Chain A
Amino acid sequence: MNEIVTPKSLGLSREDLPNSYIGRSVPRPNARKLVEGRATYTDDVTLPRLVHAAFLRSPHAHARIVSIDTAAALAVPGVVRVFTGADLAKVCDPWVAVLAHLKGMKSAPQYPLPLERATWQGEAVVAVVAETRAAAEDGVAALAVAFDALPAQVDMETALAPGAVVIHPELGDNLVFTRTAETGNVEAAIAGAHKVVEATFHTGRHTGVTLEPRSIIADYNRADGTLTVHHSTQAPHMMQNVFATQLRMAEGDVRVICKDVGGSYGIKVHVYPDEMAVACMSKIMGRPVKFIADRFEAFGSDIHARDHRIKGRLAVDAEGRFLAFDIDDLTGIGPYSVYPRTSAVEGNQVVNLCGGPYAFDNYRCTTTVVLQNKAPTSQYRAVGHPIATTVTEGLVDLAAEALGIDPVAIRRKNLIRDDAYPCTSPAGMKFEGLSHHASLDKLLEMVPVEKIRADQAEQRKRGVYRGLGFASFIELTNPSPFMYGIGGAKISAQDGCTVRMDPDGSLVALSGVTEQGQGTEAILAQIVAHGVGVPVSKVKVVTGDTQTTPYGGGTWACRGAGIGGEAALQSAIALKEQILEVAGAMLQAQAASLDIVMGEVVDKATGQVRMPLAELGRIVYYRGDTLPKDLARELVQTRHFITKEYPFAFTNGIQASWLEVDVETGMVKLLEHWCVEDCGRVINPMLVDEQVRGGIVQGIGGALYEHCIYNEDGQLLTTTLADYLVPMAAEMPDMHVGHVETPTKESLLGAKGAGEAGTAGAPAAIMNAINDALSPLGARVLAQPFTPDRILRALGTIA
């Protein structure tokens, strides 16, 4: 625990006071409205003169747009207007998604709608605006667009080969970015190693299926020259800047409002050309335009992720100590790097994170990021982590097997010692404080390993193949400007919170971080209630409005609690001090002798109630004449927070999966799953546990079910929820979550991120468990998702 977080330093009387909310599972104030259907999603917003957009999307992976005949579409009843790429380019500048600190990165200019060529199947090509979405779709059906299909570059393995289709000829080739990190002498370490294990892993291209699809209403008002955008997004201020910049407007003339969001997982933190088209069309028409992606178009136009092939080698000495990791990562990202975070970050994360939990000296990792004619990929929950964890933990298990060492023992031998911090990893990541060994110990308290191994041996005699798999991981959270800002992207790493007290003693907190259903507003309310000293029910939280909330980055990379939460805590503490100043003047007492408990000013020493906050509010707001003339009585405080010491607040953890493989059908049945993680200070244990469970479920999705399958022509075959398999409740195992708390010292709150830990480690734990189950049969699977077909092939059952 941080020394600084004591009741005294927090300005609290006693940690066990009723309004001590940090570390308590307080029910979420917004849960009821969500389950009662009273939330306000973007599609619930209707505006006068609203029109609806639908898009004709490219049926080809790569095609020249020969002609667009809009006459029949314009004749469809209800259709108002049809827009082509050329129409929108008149009001919108193209964007190029590169970051300056990713040396040598290149990508092509992207427009809301393409001007000459469609470069993936599902890319929006023509927009129809109509009185209803149905009429807009009728209009789309009536469009006559002639395409000249071109050869498509689908396979990332051949993207750089001679004869590859160069998707953007002006770039010269399909290479977007490559980077090699090298520390020590990998070749020498491998040459001198006792054993070197080697494998090639694949992570499957998949996507984050949000319950609420991408949604936007853009409303340009010619009367005052403002653009108001109702948007289902994670980053309202970032989008404000993007809309203003691309549409050549002043940033102050753009307002982004983001009420309830039905899940995001990173999908809604990107600039989508069809959403930019909506803003353009509103600006041209001077009318509000709505676009709600349906599931079918979401599969082909939401960002995909995790399409990687990773070759890895791990060198070990005779005692099982790790000598060197040597990794070669290749990823295909579609035809454009996605603005503004780019599509090189996932590969870059693989370079940053491989081998991350372990102490070793020699490291080499290369990522190669290439273009292809598939849907663009970009950041999705736990960016790069499940890939790095899969290759690292897969190699660790291979080394354990090669040496005849238990998987737990080899991890214990190599995990960075808990007293070794601060330290820097061979990949260059700075670790402030991690708890790999404490987490492993805690996991082993939870997982009955001996009982499981006995059951495993017994079951094998009966022809039942069960496996236990482990995966240690690190997770990057609370990013500083070193993630995006340093590369020139206008993405804020700092965040702010304003807390004010109203006359009735209730509080309003306005925060730059956002809520997507995960409970951000709940923890902000807890932190503010804790910091000021009021019941949590007295705090209302406002997020998602660029015109009213302090400037901030929004919610991504697990920064909501660690950055937004600290800003809320500091502003709450500042407000408390201000309230006590006023109370001291009223009560003729030293402010330092007073405290606030459950919404009442009390004498700190005796606990005696001196004045309810409502009475203080009444006097300040209605009878200010009775207060000393020079008394500062602004019951509102704003604080902003940014991390300063470390580029990222790393967290760590370890997962275990216990499962059964039906070796006749190739089906995997998940029996039980465990995760111990260290997100620093836990604010709301229930929310953290559910974040971890939800993350595990998405990790399970990638490991077993979810796959964006393309045919060789670049046609996406998985465009419905019958074909794209999301993990569902019936197949999920019981998930046990444990915590070790190593608060970051960068903040008073000490919170690090918790949202991606589950996703980071689950696929590797499952892979290792499957391979443990299959080990008596000499089979091994390394390509996700681990489908029945792949397992039966590994077993040699089918060829």
Chain B
Amino acid sequence: MKWPAMGYARVESLDELWQVLDAAGPEAQILAGGQSLLATLSFRLSEPSGLIDITRIAALRGVSVAGATLRIGSLTRHAELGRDPLVAAHAPILAEAAPLIAHPAIRNRGTIGGSLALADPAAELPACVVALDATIVVASRGGERRVPAADFFQGLFTTDLQPGEIITAVEVPVATPASRQTIVEVTRRSGDYAMAGLAAVLAMRADGTVDAARLVFFGVGSGAEIATGASAALIGAPLTRATIAAAQGALADDLDPPGDLHGGPELKRHLARVITARALDTFLASAEQAA
């Protein structure tokens, strides 16, 4: 199908954005990488009055570290995320996630801000930022506010983003020597949306004791799903196959996945248990080495 007719404006600064947003009205849509938005236009699933292209706003670009915080500009492309040395050093799960996101052409255009704003339930980055306990920085004409990632996502394609607001950056607490991060997903083909995925971020002492754990699933619910029971099952004891099994067991209460074209809820529950073990097993070796 062809796009409906619509307006287009490209802005160079946030100030200009606020003006154009006011002029364009609520039916206009922000355009960043466009890798999901343009497909919905092609299916005529949405018919915005116009697109406001923010890709030239310099303030939304760049990756930097200040103190214990890694700041990732919202226009950071997935491909940049995958090759940025600061990201690799301070939020390695994001670097690990990047190659799992779709295909190179999409990674070259898609942005982290766009992915978070869309809140696709099968997307990798929302789960990663929730697992990292990141903060989403949003701005509007009225100023800036900071929202914990876990509060930002409110359900299927739904976020805390208000009309007139855009995401400007993601702030991630930098990894410490205690940090353990990994992302594991099961896809039919490389680049597909995950049948089930897990972003796991742990803090482990030298003796292997887990001080903190955030297991966040994607592709198994309406969004980035924090597995609270499974996460809690890991905390306070050294990571062992027994605690991993306990975490797997706790998923029964943590997750209530819907079926999809790949199979029913039971398939998703099963895959969630499998990837929990596969993700956490990668930390076992280091725990044993430390012990």
| Known contacts A722-B193, A725-B192, A788-B267; A709/B261 CB under 8 A | yes
Interface flag for B241 (CB, 8 Å)? no
The residue of chain A having its C-beta at the shortest distance from the C-beta of B3 within the complex is A134
**Contact across chains for A722 and B266 when beta carbons are under 8 A apart:** no
5 inter-chain pairs at a CB distance below 8 angstroms, sorted by A residue, are A722-B193, A788-B188, A789-B262, A789-B264, A798-B264
Does the CB pair A717–B261 fall under 8 Å?
Answer: yes
CA distance A667 to B271 in the complex (A): 11
Chain B positions within 8 Å of A797 at CB level: 270
Question: In the complex the two chains form, is B3's CB within 8 Å of A788's CB?
Answer: no
Contact string against B for A residues 723-757, beta-carbon threshold 8 Å, 1 for contact and 0 otherwise: 10101101100000000000000000000000000
**Residues on B with beta carbons closer than 8 Å to the beta carbon of A787:** 188, 262-263
Kindly identify, within residues 176 to 223 of chain B, every residue whose CB is under 8 Å from any CB belonging to chain A.
Answer: 186, 188-193, 195
Interface code A437-472, partner B: CB below 8 Å = 1, 0 otherwise?
Answer: 000000000000000000000000000000000000
In whole Å, how far is B217's beta carbon from the nearest beta carbon of chain A? 15
A776-798 vs B, Cβ < 8 Å mask (1 yes, 0 no): 00000000000111001000011
CA distance A709 to B43 in the complex (A): 20
Residues from chain A with a CB closer than 8 A to the CB of B5 are: 134
Q: List the 10 closest A-B pairs by CB distance, nearest first.
A: A789-B263, A134-B2, A730-B190, A798-B266, A664-B274, A789-B267, A665-B186, A133-B2, A728-B189, A798-B270
A132's nearest neighbour on chain B, judged by CB, is B2
Task: State whether the Cβ of B66 lies closer than 8 Å to any Cβ in chain A.
Answer: no
B266 to chain A: which residues have CB within 8 Å?
Answer: 798-799
Interfacial residues of chain A within 169-200, with CB under 8 A of chain B in the complex: none
A110 interfacial contact with B, CB 8 Å:
no
- Please indicate the chain B residues that have their CB under 8 angstroms from the CB of A133 in the complex: 2
Residues of chain A with a CB closer than 8 A to B43's CB: 296
Q: How far is the CA of A307 from the CA of B137 in the complex (A)?
A: 51
A667: chain B residues at CB < 8 Å are 186, 188
User: Which chain A positions have C-beta within 8 A of B1?
Assistant: 137, 294, 296
- Chain A residue contacts of B83, Cβ below 8 A: none
For residue A361, CB closer than 8 A to chain B, the reply is no
Distance, CA A787 to CA B264, complexed state (A) = 13
Complex CA gap A765/B109 in Å reads: 40
Name the contact of A723 in the complex, choosing from B189, B190, B261, B267 (C-beta under 8 A): B261
Closest to B193 in A: A722
Q: Is B44 an interface residue (CB 8 A)?
A: yes
Question: Is B4 among interface residues, defined by CB-CB distance under 8 A?
Answer: yes
Measured between beta carbons, the chain A residues less than 8 angstroms from B186 are 665, 667, 788
A138 at the interface (CB under 8 A from B): yes
The answer on a CB contact under 8 Å between A718 and B274 is no
Instruction: Kindly list chain A residues whose C-beta atoms are within 8 Å of the C-beta of B264.
Output: 789, 798
CA distance A731 to B103 in the complex (A): 14
Q: How far apart are the CA atoms of A717 and B263 in the complex, in Å? A: 13
- B36-54 interface code vs A (CB 8 A; 1 in, 0 out): 0000000110000000000
Chain A CB within 10 A, most for which of B1, B192, B195? B1
A261 to chain B, nearest CB (A): 23
Specify which of B3, B4, B190 is in contact with A731 (CB 8 Å cutoff): B190
Interface pair B44/A725, CB less than 8 Å apart: no
Which B-chain residue is minimally distant from A719 (CB atoms)? B43
Query: B261 touches which one: A138, A294, A665, A718 (CB < 8 A)?
Result: A718
Chain B residues with CB under 8 Å of A718's CB are 261
Contact A705 B262 (CB under 8 A): no
Quick one: given A665-B274, A788-B195, are A731 and B189 in contact (CB under 8 Å)?
yes
Q: Indicate whether A141 reaches chain B with its CB closer than 8 angstroms.
A: yes
B184, chain A: closest CB distance, angstroms = 11
* A361 and B44 alpha carbons, distance in the complex (Å): 59
Q: Which residues of B are in contact with A by a Cβ distance under 8 Å?
A: 1-5, 43-44, 186, 188-193, 195, 261-264, 266-267, 270-271, 274
| Contacting pair A705 B188 (CB below 8 A) | yes
Task: Known A-B contacts: A137-B1, A730-B190, A788-B271. Give 17 more (CB < 8 A).
Answer: A134-B3, A134-B5, A137-B2, A138-B4, A296-B43, A664-B274, A717-B261, A728-B191, A730-B191, A731-B189, A787-B262, A788-B186, A789-B264, A792-B270, A798-B263, A798-B264, A799-B266
Residues from chain A with Cβ under 8 Å of B195 in the complex? 788
What residues on B are CB-neighbors of A665 within 8 Å? 186, 271, 274
Find chain B residues with CB under 8 A from A294 CB. Answer: 1
Q: Which residue of B lies closest to A140 (CB)?
A: B1
Q: Closest CB of chain A to B112's CB: distance in Å?
A: 21
Per the bound structure, the CA–CA distance linking A717 and B266 in Å amounts to: 20
Specify which of B2, B193, B267 is in contact with A792 (CB 8 Å cutoff). B267
Cβ contacts under 8 Å, A722 to chain B: 192-193
**Min CB gap B261→A, angstroms:** 6
Q: Once the chains bind, are B189 and A137 in contact (CB under 8 Å)?
A: no
A405, chain B: closest CB distance, angstroms: 35
For window 669-719 of chain A, which residues contact chain B by CB distance below 8 Å?
705, 709, 717-718
- Cα A693 to Cα B211 in complex, Å, equals 53
Cβ contacts under 8 Å, A789 to chain B? 262-264, 267
* Cβ of A790 to closest chain B Cβ, rounded Å: 9
* B190 in contact with A728 (CB, 8 Å): yes
Please state if A137 and B44 are interface contacts (CB–CB under 8 Å).
yes
Of the candidates A141, A789, A797, the one having the most CB atoms from chain B within 10 angstroms of its own CB is: A789
Shortest C-beta distance, B134 to chain A (Å), equals 27
Q: In the complex the two chains form, is A725's CB within 8 Å of B188's CB?
A: yes
A725 & B189 in contact (Cβ 8 Å cutoff): yes
A723 to B188, CA, bound (A): 11
Of A728, A731, A798, the residue contacting B267 (CB under 8 A) is A798
In A135-182, the 8 Å CB interface with B consists of: 137-138, 141
Residues of B within 8 A of A798 (CB): 263-264, 266-267, 270
Q: Which residues of B contact A728 (CB under 8 A)?
A: 189-191
A785, closest chain B residue (CB): B188
CA distance A798 to B190 in the complex (A): 24
Contacts of B261 in A (CB 8 A): 709, 717-718, 723
| A718, B261: Cα distance in complex, Å | 8
Q: Which residues of B lie under 8 Å from residue A723 when comparing CB positions?
A: 261
Alpha-carbon distance between A723 and B189 when the two chains are bound, in angstroms: 11
B254 to chain A, nearest CB (A): 18
Q: Is the CB of A788 within 8 A of B189?
A: no
Among A296, A722, A730, chain B packs the most CB atoms within 10 A around the CB of A722
The 8 A CB mask of A233-256 against B (1 = contact, 0 = none) is 000000000000000000000000
Once the chains are docked, how many angstroms separate the CA of A730 from the CA of B99? 13
In the complex the two chains form, what is the Cα distance from A313 to B225 in whole Å?
Answer: 49
A798 to B193 alpha-carbon distance, docked (Å): 22
Among A134, A138, A141, A798: residue with most chain B CB under 10 A? A798
A137 CA / B188 CA spacing, docked (Å): 33
CA distance A799 to B43 in the complex (A): 36
A137–B186 alpha-carbon span in the complex (Å): 38
Closest to B196 in A: A665
Cα–Cα distance between A798 and B263 once the two chains are bound (Å): 10
Q: B residues within 8 A CB of A137? A: 1-2, 44
Q: How far is the CA of A709 from the CA of B261 in the complex (A)?
A: 8
Chain A residues with Cβ under 8 A from B193's Cβ?
Answer: 722
Smallest CB-CB separation from B262: which chain A residue? Answer: A789
Specify which chain B residues have a CB less than 8 angstroms from the CB of A727 in the assembled complex: 189
Q: How far is the CB of B85 from chain A (nearest CB, A)?
A: 27
Collect the chain A residues with CB atoms within 8 Å of residue B270's CB.
792, 797-798
- Distance in angstroms from A798 CB to nearest chain B CB is 5
Complex CA gap A669/B192 in Å reads 15
Quick check: A788 and B263 within 8 Å, CB to CB? yes
Which residues of chain A from 213 to 232 have a CB within 8 Å of any chain B CB? none
**Which residues in window 349-399 of A have CB below 8 A to B?**
none
B2→A788 contact, CB < 8 A: no
| Residues of the B chain whose Cβ atoms lie less than 8 Å from the Cβ of A132 | 2
A797 and B266 CA atoms in complex are apart in Å by: 10
Bound-state CA distance A507–B262 (Å) is 55
Q: What's the Cα separation between A591 and B266 when bound, in Å?
A: 80
* Chain B residues within 8 Å of A141, by CB: 44
CA distance A731 to B189 in the complex (A): 7
Max chain A C-beta neighbours (<10 A), residue from B186, B189, B193: B189
Q: How far is the CA of A133 from the CA of B4 in the complex (A)?
A: 11
